[in-house]
């Protein structure tokens, strides 16, 4: 399985999301958003999902 490295701009987002137990609105694009640096704030639901998919730990540590 080819795992991507977490991007540095997602570390704080991921930590805050997990520690504050934030529930983001469900994705309106069938949960298939492309999360890139230029558009990462458009869909926080998919951004968090990507963080988990690349292996960030749910205990708040990268």
Give me the long-range contacts of 35-38 (CB less than 8 A, separation at least 24): 37/7, 37/9
Per-residue confidence of the chain (62 residues) as pLDDT tens digits? 445 555 566 788 998 999 999 999 999 999 989 888 888 899 999 999 988 888 887 775 55
The crossing angle, in degrees rounded to 10, of helices 8-19 and 44-53 is 100
What confidence score (pLDDT) does residue 17 get? 93
pTM for this structure? 0.77
Q: Which fold has domain 18-62?
A: Erythroid Transcription Factor GATA-1; Chain A (3.30.50)
């Amino acid at each position: 399985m080819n795992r991507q490295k977490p991007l540095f701009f997602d570390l704080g987002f991921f930590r805050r999301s997990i520690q504050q137990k934030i529930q983001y609105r469900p994705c309106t694009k069938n949960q298939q958003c492309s999360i890139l640096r230029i558009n990462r704030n458009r869909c926080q639901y998919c951004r968090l999902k990507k963080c988990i998919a690349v292996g960030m730990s749910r205990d708040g540590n990268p």
